[in-house]
Structure 1
Amino acid sequence: MFILKNKFYFSILYFSILIIDIIVKFGLDAIPFRFITKPLIVVSLVLFYWMNSNEKSKRNFVFMVLALFFFLLGDIFLIFKDVSLLFSLGMLGFIFGKLFFTFRFSNQNDFKLVRLLPVVIFCFVYIFVVLNIIYDNLGDYFIPVLVYLFVAMLTLQFAYLRKSGVDTKSYLSVGIGILFSVVADSVAVLAQFYENNFFYDKVTVILFYGISQYLIVMGIIEEKAKIDNSFYEDVSIGI
């Protein structure tokens, strides 16, 4: 339990599991070895989050646990991504995982729509470019992949909007984690529907994915709400 309470030792454990999973992916059979190493990536994060969470909102705690749970299901199904049904279930697991991340990232702070505009433009351009590259190979997967990319970009937007409500350290950790997730998603989709071994996907997808999940969980654990000074400023002006 000490390892799960200490960030430094847990980080060593976590990245050791990640490296072992990459080695197993190349050198050993999926059954039974990857059924052990791959789920351990997310399971270790769930345990670490559970032991170290300071969530004031029970709702936020549940959203994070559900997000990681669905990522865990997605990981298990995608071990056999060459099986159409399991690939679809894996995508569905990741879609729900990203949606629950989105719910967790949301806050009640006001924001200016103009500040979100560059991110929205990026998201539309990103989806358009990726779909344009893989369109001819999508077949029946067009709608599922479109939904997957849309939800991925929605998660990016809500991670961006956290800036108005949380401290800089947490904001950057989650934000960089989401960007790593976008890279992992992009490589995975292009490798599946465009070109095998795209950008060395067998290594890069799991590496970027593992780093992204680590940064997101760490950022949420360390999250501190920003204090809204506007009330005090209004009071001082009135005085």
Structure 2
Amino acid sequence: MNIFEKIDMDMLTKTEKSFSLVFSIVVIAELIAGSVESLTTYHYFTKPLILISLIFFFWKHAQHLDVKTKWLTLLALVFSLMGDVLLMFVNASVNYFISGLLAFLLAHVMYVLVFLRKRKKSKKVFPFTVILLLYAATVFYFLKDGLGDLLLPVMVYMGVILLMAITGFLRQGRVPKNSYILVFLGALFFITSDSLLALNKFYEPLPFSNIGIMLTYSIAQLFIVFGLIKQS
């Protein structure tokens, strides 16, 4: 089955479509607040609201999932929220960046544990792993000279987020089609978002970096949440 087969939008419930609209408004508000200097104050409200809205949505609509899946996912979302908040203060101290990196590292570990619960053990993962490693090596080539003391933490982080994508890939054949595609695409959007963030911080400033990072990040989290809700 082609993993990029079109997602059947009829599989989204009316509630999910309504939430997607509200979620889009929140994300657009954050993109504006984070890009317009005169609206910076609102940024401290709109950015956390992205994950807060997802946490409440998942909590309300994931009651059918098994307990471990539900709580591991909630932990992933809470750690992501912590990471979002910490990264808003990186200009004050590098410690906020390190703490934010750790929070997102824990979020990815939680997602890995969730995805592993529905892995297909017979699925071949080597070709996809090679592609991911080549991509990671390319990004790392541009980052390495600017990492300094953060070289090891960033390498560990890159390894964990690649593992998240691999475990998301391993769900094919064990979960419904839409659940698999949404989660897998969410993992790829997460890698894209973190790549943009890293290149913007450690290589050189990217044009419209705030928009690109937040848009791909928001899509990633939304897709993973929807995908996990459709898991069973």
Structure 2 length normalisation: TM-score? 0.89
Pairing 1:203–2:202 present: no
Contact 1:187/1:199 (8 A) holds in 2:
no
| Identity score, percent | 29
Pairing 1:174–2:195 present: no
Pairing 1:34–2:29 present: no
- Which residue in 2 is equivalent to 1:160? 169
Candidates 216, 221, 232, aligned match of 2:224: 216
- Which residue in 1 is equivalent to 2:122? 112
Displacement of 1:38 in angstroms is 0.6
Going from structure 1 to structure 2, the CA distance change for 1:156 and 1:30 (only over 3 Å counts) comes to: farther
Residue 224 of structure 2 aligns to which amino acid in structure 1?
I
Candidates 73, 79, 94, aligned match of 1:64: 73
Unpaired runs of 5+ in structure 2?
1-13
Going from structure 1 to structure 2, the CA distance change for 1:217 and 1:110 (only over 3 Å counts) comes to: closer
- Which residue in 2 is equivalent to 1:89? 99
- Which residue in 2 is equivalent to 1:132? 141
CA RMSD of superposed structures (Å): 1.7
Unpaired runs of 5+ in structure 1?
225-239
SS in 1 for 2:204: coil
Residue 161 of structure 1 aligns to which amino acid in structure 2?
L
Contact 2:189/2:219 (8 A) holds in 1:
yes
Displacement of 1:108 in angstroms is 5.8
Give the structure with higher Rg (CA).
Answer: 1
Residue 126 of structure 1 aligns to which amino acid in structure 2?
Y
Contact 1:39/1:72 (8 A) holds in 2:
yes
- Which residue in 2 is equivalent to 1:100? 110
- Which residue in 2 is equivalent to 1:232? none
Structure 1 length normalisation: TM-score? 0.86
Residue 93 of structure 1 aligns to which amino acid in structure 2?
A
How many pairs were matched up?
218
Displacement of 1:130 in angstroms is 1.5
> Separation in 2 of the partners of 1:216 and 1:171?
9
Contact 1:137/1:193 (8 A) holds in 2:
yes
Going from structure 1 to structure 2, the CA distance change for 1:203 and 1:31 (only over 3 Å counts) comes to: closer
> Separation in 2 of the partners of 1:59 and 1:28?
42
* Bigger proportion of residues as helix: 1
Residue 105 of structure 2 aligns to which amino acid in structure 1?
I
Residue 96 of structure 1 aligns to which amino acid in structure 2?
L
Contact 1:18/1:207 (8 A) holds in 2:
yes
Going from structure 1 to structure 2, the CA distance change for 1:108 and 1:27 (only over 3 Å counts) comes to: closer
Displacement of 1:129 in angstroms is 1.6
